[in-house]
Structure 1
Amino acid sequence: MELNLWAIAGIVLVAAMTFYLGHRSSRFASSTHDFLVARRTVRSRRNAAAISGEYLSAASFLGVAGIVLKDGADGLWYPIGFTAGYLALMLFVAAPLRRSGAYTLPDFLEARLGSVVLRRCATVFVVVIGILYLVPQLQGAGLALGTVLPVPWWVGALTVMVLVLVNVLAGGMRAVTVVQAFQYWLKLFALAVPAFVLCAVFVAGGHSGPAGSLGSPAPPTFAADTTVKIETDVRLRVNTVTPVQVRLPGQTDERMVVWAKGATEQVAKGSQLRFAAGTPVPTVSDAVASNADWLRPGGDGVSDLLQTYSLLLATFLGTMGLPHVLVRFYTNPDGKAARRTAVHVLLLLGLFYLFPTLLGAMSRMYVPQLLVTGQTDAAVLRLPNAVVPGFTGDLLTGVVMAGAFAAFISTSSGLLVSIAGVVSTDLFKGRVRDFRWAAALVSVAPAGLALMMRSTDLSLSVGMSFALAASTFSPLLVLGIWWRKLTWPGAMAGMIVGGGLVLGLLVVNTVSRYTGGWAPWLANQPALVTVPLAFAVTIIVSLATRSGRPADVNAVMLRLHAPDPLGFMRDRAVARFGQVESRHRAGRGRHRK
C-alpha cells in the first residue's frame, strides 16, 4: 500500500477541527441539561445541519456508492429511503415529540404511557439499536484507513472511537452540535469537489471509462493486466469462460486456472488473482454482472421486489425510530422549530445524495476490480486515483478521506450521546459524571463487536438497524402521538415482538454469511413482515388491556398537539438533571430561525 500524505493530512485536519470545535463548545456545558439537549436553544438551520451531519454515516458516504456500483438502479432505493424518512418524521412525529418535553426516547414513552417498566424495555432497545449502528461506522473507518494507508484496519476503528469519546466526555450534546453541523458541510464539499473534477475528466475522455461504457450490455472488462488481492473470503460468479492466474494463501507459485461460464468459485482470504487485459470481470455472487441488468431496476423475481418494498418500509419508518436522530429534535426550543428543522434536513439530504450516486456509477467504469474483492464500499476512495493518477488523484483522495472520517466521527458522536443519555438517566442518577461514565462504558461494546465481526456492505448492515428501529419505536411513536387508546402493555408487546423478530433474523443472517449464504431475503430485509406485525400486536393488545391506559391521557394528548403559543408545553423534571440552578439558565439562550 502506497503512503498517501494528502490522506493523512485530511485525517489530521478533521481530527484537529473536531477537537477544537468540541472543546470550544464544551466550555459552556456545565449541567446534564447541556449534555443531553444543549439547553434546547439550537436554532433550526444549525440543528438541521447537525442532524444531516450525524445522519450521513458511513452507509451514506461510502455505502451508497458501493451499493450503486454493485446493484445499479436498485441501489438508488437506499438514498431515496434515507431521505424520505424525514418526510414521515416531519408530518407525524417532530413537533409533538418536542412538545412532550422529554429528554430521551424512553423518557417520552414514560411521559405518554406512565410506565417505568416500558421505559426500561425501551432503554434496552435504544442501546441495541445504537450499538448495531455504531459497529458499521467503526468498520467503515477501518476500511477507509486501510484503503489509503499501510495500517491494519482496526487502527481506524479505534482512532474514531477514541476521538468521539473525548468529545462526548467533554461536553455531550453541547459539544457535538457545532461539530456535526461543520462536518455536514465538510462531507458535502468532500464529495462534491471530486465529483465535479472526475465528471469533467470523464466528459473530456469521451464518455467512457477503461472498463467500458455503461451503455454496453456486456459486463465490465479489465482494461489492463490486473492483479487482485482477496481480503475476505468471497464467492465469485463467473460470467464467461475466464482464464486466471491464481496464487493461493501461503504459496509463492501461481497456477493457471480456467473458470467455466456460469460457475460459482469460492476464493479464500489471502488469495491473489491475476487477470489478462480484456477479461470480463467476475463479480461477487450477489452483484449484478451485466451492465444491461445493472441499468434495469426491479431485479429478477418476486423475492427481489419484496426485498425492495421491505427496504423502503424500513428506511421510511425506521428514521423516526433512530434514537440519535430523535434526540436532536429535543434540542429545538419548540414544536414549530422542530418541524422547520425536519424541512431543512430534507433539502440538505437531497443535495448530498446526488454525489455518491454519481460516483458509484463512475466506479463501475473505472474500478471494476472491487466487484471481485467484494469491497465495493471502497469505491469512493479508489475512484480518484483510477480516473486521474498521480498528484491530482492523491489530492482528491485526501479530500474524500477527510469527508469519510467526518462521516464516521459525526454519526458515532450522535449515537454515543443518545445512548449515554439514555443509560445515564435510566440506570444512573442523571448527573454529569453519570453521563460520562455511561459514555465510556457504552463505547466498549461496539468497539469489541467491530473488531470481532466480519464486515459486510455498510448500507446493508445499517439497513438492519433501520429495520429494528421501524419494528420497535415507529409503532410506539405513531400510535402514541395519534391514538389515545394505546396502553403500555400493548406498546411493550409490540416492541418485544417486532424487535425480537428482527434480532432473531439478524442472528440467522449472520450465521448464514459464515455458512454459505443460505438464508432467504427476509433475514436480510425483514421490515415488510416485522413492522405490520408490530403495529398489529400493539393495537390488539392495547384494545384488550384498557386498564393500561394512563389516567392523564387527555392532558398529555393536549400538550402534544396544542399549538406552541398556547403555552401547554412543559419540559420534564429539569431539576432531576445536574444542577438545580440550570432551570434558570436554561431559558436564557436565544433562538434564531
Structure 2
Amino acid sequence: MTSVPIVVAITLTCLATVVGGIHGVRLSRTTSDFYVAGRQVTPWRNASAIGGEYLSAASFLGIAGLVYASGVAMLWFPVGYTLGYVILAAVVAAPLRRSGAYTLPDFAQLRLESRKLRLLTSVLVVLVGWLYLIPQLQGADIAVATLTGAPGWAGSALVVVVVTINVVAGGMRSVTDLQAVQYWVKFVAISVPAVIMVTIWASSDLGVPTMPELPMQTAATEAYTTYSLLLALCLGTMGLPHVAVRFYTNRDGLAARRTTIPVIGLLGLFYLFPPIYAVLGRAYLPTLPPGAQADQIVLLLPTVIAPGALGQALVVVLSVGAFAAFLSTASGLAIAVTGVVDQDLVKPWLRRVTGDDVDGIFSFRVSAVFAMVVPLMLTVVVGPTGLATTVGLAFAVSASTLCPMLALGVWWRGLTARGAALGMVVGATGSLASAGVTLSHIDLPEPYALLLSQPAAWTVPLAFVTAMLASLATQDRIPRNVLRTMTRLHLPENLSSRTG
C-alpha cells in the first residue's frame, strides 16, 4: 500500500524529531543536561514525557493485535502496564530521586557500596534496554512494510538513525521535550481515527462482533498465565531503565512522586482506544489478508471501513502516531542505555587508551551510537515476533533482576551487595534463558513451553528469595554507610541535608 502522503507524513515526523534534537544542542551544555536534563523537569512535563516514551510499539499496535487475535483476556496487558506505575509511585519513585544518582548502576553503588555490583547492574540495564528496543524496531519494520511496501528493515534502520542523531545532539534535555509532545501526538493519532471509525460502524448494519476465545485451558493454566503476566508488568516497570531514569530529572523527591499521578491518568486515557481497534477489526476484518499479522490491524482498518480519501487520511494520522511511538520509546531507551554504556564501558576505556580525562559529551555521543547499533543487529537475527510477546519478556527480565535490587535496596537495610548480586544472577539466568528460547521459536512440550513463555511467576519470587537468603547469610557485609544512605533515600531533601 504505497502512498505518497504516508511517506511524507513519516518523513516529516522523523524530521521534526531530528530538528528537536538539534535544537537541544543549544540547551545542553553540561553532563547533567545530557544525562538528567539538569534535574529541572516539572512534574506535568515529566509525566507527558513518561507517557511519550512508555507508550511503545506494543501499546500502539500490539495490544490491538493481541485482543483481535486472542480476545478480551489480553486486556490484562494495558491493566498491567498502568498498574506498574502505581507500584512504582508507592515503592521507589521518590527515593530514587533523593539518591541523587544518574543511572540505576549509580544507585546500586551508592546503596550497596560495591563496584562489582555496579558492573553487574550495568550489564543487566543494557540487556533489558536492548531487549525492549527490539520490539520498537520490529514495530517500525511492520509499519513501513504495511504502509509503503518498502522492505521491513528500512523501518528499523530509519528509527535507529533518527534516534541516534537526536540523542547525540541534545541528550535528555531535548529528548524530554520531544517525548512530552509525542505523547499528545500519539493520543490524537489513536483516538481521532477510532472515534471516526466507531461513528461509521454505529451507522452501519453490522452488529457487535464475537471476539475470539482462547483454546480451552485448565483453570490452573489460565490462572498461572494471568498471574505471571501481571507480576511481570507490575514489577517490571520499576526496573525498566528508561522509566527509572526519568525520575532523576525531577527537582526533588516530592516532584518525582507527583509526576506519577498524572502519568497514571495519561496512560489510562490512551489505553481506552487500542481495544476499540480490535473490536472494529473483528467486525470488518474477521480474517486477515494473506501474509498479514495481527499487529497490523490498526493500520489496515481505515481503508476497509472508509475506502477513499477519508480512509487514506486516517492511515496518515495513524502512521504519524505509530512512528511517534517508535521514536519516543526508542529515544528514552537509547538515553538510558547510553548513560550506562558511557559511564561503565566507553569512558573507562577511553581513559585507558588516552591516559587522561576524556570529554564527557564526546564519550556520551560515542556510547549513543553503540547503544543503537547492537539492537538493530539483534532485530535482524530475532526476526518477526509478536510485539507484545517481546515486550512482555523484557518486563519479565526487568522484574526478575533490577526490581529486587531496587525494592529491597530502598526498603530493607539488611540487603548486602552479595545478596543483591546472587538474586540478580539467579533471576537473570531464568528469565534470559526463557526469553532466548521464546524468541528462538523453539517448540517445546507443555508445561515447559508455558513456563518459559511466561517466566515471571517463578523467576521473580526466586530472585527475591535468593537475594534475601544470601543477604541474611552475609550480614557481616552490610554496607558501612547504610544508615546514612537510607536516611538520604527516605527523608525529604531539606531534612536529609540537615541530618547528613
TM-score (norm 1): 0.80
Task: Determine which structure has the larger helix proportion and give its number.
Answer: 2
**Counterpart residue type for residue 506 of structure 1:** A
1:467 aligns with: 396
**Counterpart residue type for residue 373 of structure 2:** V
**Counterpart residue type for residue 412 of structure 1:** A
1:154 aligns with: 153
Equivalent pair of 2:487/2:496 in contact (CA under 8 Å): no
SS in structure 2 opposite 1:330?
Answer: helix
Alpha-carbon shift at residue 570 of structure 1 (Å): 12
CA distance in 2: counterparts of 1:299 and 1:30, whole angstroms: 57
Deviations 1:325-364 (A, max 9, x none): 0001000010000001111110100000001111112112
**Residues 308, 372 of structure 1: alpha-carbon distance in 2 compared, 3 angstrom cutoff:** farther
**Residues 501, 408 of structure 1: alpha-carbon distance in 2 compared, 3 angstrom cutoff:** same
Matches within 5 A, 1:52-201: 52-201=51-200
Equivalent pair of 2:134/2:376 in contact (CA under 8 Å): yes
CA distance in 1: counterparts of 2:492 and 2:43, whole angstroms: 18
Task: Determine which structure has the larger strand proportion and give its number.
Answer: 1
Equivalent pair of 2:240/2:398 in contact (CA under 8 Å): yes
Q: State the structure with more CA Rg.
A: 1
1:496 aligns with 2:414: no
**Residues 445, 563 of structure 1: alpha-carbon distance in 2 compared, 3 angstrom cutoff:** same
Matches within 5 A, 1:448-527: 448-511=377-440, 513-515=441-443, 519-527=448-456
Alpha-carbon shift at residue 306 of structure 1 (Å): 0.4
Cα-Cα RMSD: 1.9
Deviations 1:208-265 (A, max 9, x none): 3xxxx424xxxxxxxxxxxxxxxxxxxxxxxxxxxxxxxxxxxxxxxxxxxxxxxxxx
1:14 aligns with: 13
SS in structure 1 opposite 2:468?
Answer: helix
**Residues 500, 161 of structure 1: alpha-carbon distance in 2 compared, 3 angstrom cutoff:** same
1:293 aligns with: 213
**Counterpart residue type for residue 336 of structure 2:** S
Equivalent pair of 1:22/1:178 in contact (CA under 8 Å): no
1:343 aligns with: 261
1:36 aligns with: 35
Q: Structure 1 residues 183-192 or 446-455, which shifts more?
A: 446-455
**Counterpart residue type for residue 267 of structure 2:** L
Alpha-carbon shift at residue 307 of structure 1 (Å): 1.0
**Residues 192, 492 of structure 1: alpha-carbon distance in 2 compared, 3 angstrom cutoff:** same
SS in structure 1 opposite 2:157?
Answer: helix
CA distance in 2: counterparts of 1:483 and 1:180, whole angstroms: 34
Paired positions, count: 488
2:480 aligns with: 551
2:372 aligns with: 443
CA distance in 1: counterparts of 2:391 and 2:476, whole angstroms: 38
Q: Structure 1 residues 514-523 or 439-448, which shifts more?
A: 514-523
**Counterpart residue type for residue 99 of structure 1:** R
**Residues 24, 150 of structure 1: alpha-carbon distance in 2 compared, 3 angstrom cutoff:** same
Equivalent pair of 2:189/2:321 in contact (CA under 8 Å): yes
Deviations 1:76-96 (A, max 9, x none): 000000000000000010001
**Counterpart residue type for residue 251 of structure 2:** P
Deviations 1:272-313 (A, max 9, x none): xxxxxxxxxxxxxxxxxxx4636x9x9654222201110000
**Counterpart residue type for residue 4 of structure 1:** S
SS in structure 2 opposite 1:389?
Answer: coil
**Counterpart residue type for residue 356 of structure 1:** P
Deviations 1:403-443 (A, max 9, x none): 00000000110101100101111221581111111111121
Equivalent pair of 1:562/1:568 in contact (CA under 8 Å): no
Match of 1:324 among 228, 238, 242: 242
Structure 1 regions of 5+ residues with no counterpart?
216-290, 572-593
1:364 aligns with 2:282: yes
SS in structure 2 opposite 1:410?
Answer: helix
**Counterpart residue type for residue 32 of structure 2:** H
Match of 2:470 among 541, 563, 585: 541
**Residues 142, 460 of structure 1: alpha-carbon distance in 2 compared, 3 angstrom cutoff:** same
Alpha-carbon shift at residue 547 of structure 1 (Å): 2.2
Deviations 1:475-524 (A, max 9, x none): 1111111100000000000000001111111222234x255787521111
1:251 aligns with: none
Once the two structures are aligned, what percentage of the paired residues are identical?
A: 46
TM-score (norm 2): 0.94
1:411 aligns with: 329
**Residues 422, 390 of structure 1: alpha-carbon distance in 2 compared, 3 angstrom cutoff:** same
**Residues 398, 517 of structure 1: alpha-carbon distance in 2 compared, 3 angstrom cutoff:** farther
CA distance in 2: counterparts of 1:27 and 1:36, whole angstroms: 15
Structure 2 regions of 5+ residues with no counterpart?
349-358
Alpha-carbon shift at residue 373 of structure 1 (Å): 4.4
Alpha-carbon shift at residue 366 of structure 1 (Å): 1.6
1:580 aligns with: none
